[in-house]
Structure 1
Amino acid sequence: MEDCHDLWNQIEELIWRGHLACYLKSREVTPRPRGPPERQIDVISGGLVAGDTSMTARKAYTRSTVEKRPWPEHEPTITFGAGEVERSHHDDALVISVQIANAQVKRVMVDTGSSADVLYFDAFGRLGLTQEKLTPVTSALTGFTVDSISPLKTTMLPITLREEPRMKTIMTTFMVVDLPSAYNVILGRPTLNRIQAVVSTYHRTIKFPTLVGIGEA
């Protein structure tokens, strides 16, 4: 039973329907909620994910998200095999290494829950960049810490994942924040979506399509 997931799901469905109650002696079945939800808790986010702080830019971003776009005719299939797992029992964050500008940067956390790509100011300095590379920004990051914070500024830098030939390079706008962190960079949804990344924290890998096949990091 523990390893046969299809059978497990079928038996669980029968339990929910009340057909196997006589066999439930040592386990309690958690009741499913009935009726519509009583309240809604919205997502806390921020940054440049909506394009700008102006109302016009936000409306344009909202319209673009609902437009139907055709799927590419030859989109590669991205899969994760059971043999790719080195250590299956873990709850580690997905941390990778990427090239930013002309430096290889380690301790880059992949966070699908982040609406912004974040570069910590300490790492910004170690990249050899100067204040002239920073652009003022007015939007805040809400939910990034206990309170909302105002990023120092933004900067646009090229990032490269993987090595030749299965690599991908894009320009990324980072929110630069001056806070202590165990990481140098947080890659959020803006970059992950642009490279069409498929993330698996279970396999501790991200995969993305390239012109010559599937790249991974």
Structure 2
Amino acid sequence: MEIGDFKRPRDYQLSFNQKEADPHPYTGVLVISLPIAEVTIPKILVDTGSALNILFNNTLKWMGISANFLRPYSNMVLGLSGALTSAKGLIKLKVESGLTPRQVKKNSEFLVFDTPSPYDAVMGQPLIFSLKAVELLYHYSIQFPTPYGVGEVKENRELVDTCQLKAYGPRLCNLLGVHMAHVWDSELSSLDQRIKIEGEKLVEELEGVQVCADDLSKELKIGRKLQLPIRSEIVAFLRQNLNVFVGDHRDMRGIDPKTTCHKLQVDPSVRSKQQKRRSLNPEKYEALNKEVQKLLHSSFL
């Protein structure tokens, strides 16, 4: 795979081949180590989606750089959580990428944040663009042109595992870029059942109480450990306000159209067309017919 040409004292091709790929690929992030201000920073996250270079305050202290060197930065920054965050300040530091002689030194600005992070710094778009670097996650490395050839910085897999353990906690078995909770169908048999995650405890055990004398199938859940006086008050309150709970479609009759109303956006000036009827297999047709009959019986249609 060849990616672009860059004009330097000579033309060099940045390329990645299968031999350079990790023999045990995985889905994760790219974490590298680089000297910043002549101090090797071990855990730098390469983030092509970040519009800023970021340095965390604990890292700055570890580097022995006083906060007096920070320049004011008044703008608010929108973080991954969607919240606006203010930075402690801005600082320009020398970054060394690659090994001699295929090495590039750049002065780059970093925003300093006083927030906890499993990483020491974030290499964002400003530094990546200034290096004219190319990142390929499949090969877990970045390459960039230098006057003496193509420079390269490889990822340290152990650092990635360490950072993700700190970020997501030891309870996760597989540290992936995207985390999914696998829930078996048997666990979803009742919507009232709380799914118990491994290593976690249920907030509260629940028990069912009958709230309608005319229909014993109507049941609501309350806390099992409630004291008797409070339990009695809650049950009485639920029975008095049973009309706000919906058990099935039949309980939703007579909804005021001012509350909710379904409307089709139809242009009366356009000639109507009838879609051809599509044939369904008997099982699907029977299930569909049952659902339609329920809606008709409940005056929903």
TM-score for both structures, normalised by structure 1: 0.65
Match of 1:85 in 2: 21
Match of 1:150 in 2: 86
SS at match of 1:141: strand
CA–CA distance in structure 1, aligned partners of residues 59 and 47 of structure 2? 18
Taking structure 1 as reference, are residues 130 and 91 closer, same or farther at Cα in structure 2, changes over 3 Å only?
same
Match of 1:164 in 2: 100
Larger relative contact order (CA 8 Å, sep ≥ 6): 1
Letter in 2 for 1:183: Y
How many Å apart are 1:131 and its aligned residue?
1.5
Match of 2:127 in 1: 191
Q: Where do 1:58-69 residues align within 5 Å?
A: none
> Which stretch shows the higher mean deviation, 82-91 or 148-157?
82-91
SS at match of 2:78: coil
Higher Cα radius of gyration: 2
Identity %: 28
Match of 2:63 in 1: 127
TM-score for both structures, normalised by structure 2: 0.47
Match of 2:263 in 1: none
Match of 1:139 in 2: 75
Kindly tell me the number of residue pairs found equivalent between the two proteins: 147
SS at match of 2:58: helix
CA–CA distance in structure 2, aligned partners of residues 166 and 192 of structure 1? 16
SS at match of 2:14: coil
Letter in 1 for 2:48: T
CA–CA distance in structure 2, aligned partners of residues 92 and 75 of structure 1? 32
Say if 2:144 and 2:150, in contact at 8 Å, map to a contact too.
yes
How many Å apart are 1:132 and its aligned residue?
1.5
Match of 1:23 in 2: none
CA–CA distance in structure 1, aligned partners of residues 16 and 133 of structure 2? 13
How many Å apart are 1:102 and its aligned residue?
1.8
Match of 1:102 in 2: 38
Deviations 1:66-113 (A, max 9, x none): xxxxx7374311010000012353112100000011211101010000
Letter in 2 for 1:216: E
Unmatched runs of 5 consecutive residues or more in structure 1: 1-70
Deviations 1:165-217 (A, max 9, x none): 11111001000001111100000000000000000011000000000000000
Unmatched runs of 5 consecutive residues or more in structure 2: 1-5, 154-301
> Which stretch shows the higher mean deviation, 183-192 or 140-149?
140-149
Deviations 1:151-176 (A, max 9, x none): 11011100101221111110010000
| Equivalent of 2:12 in 51, 76, 79 | 76
CA-based RMSD of the aligned residues comes to 1.4
Match of 2:149 in 1: 213
Letter in 2 for 1:158: K
Say if 1:160 and 1:168, in contact at 8 Å, map to a contact too.
yes
Match of 1:5 in 2: none
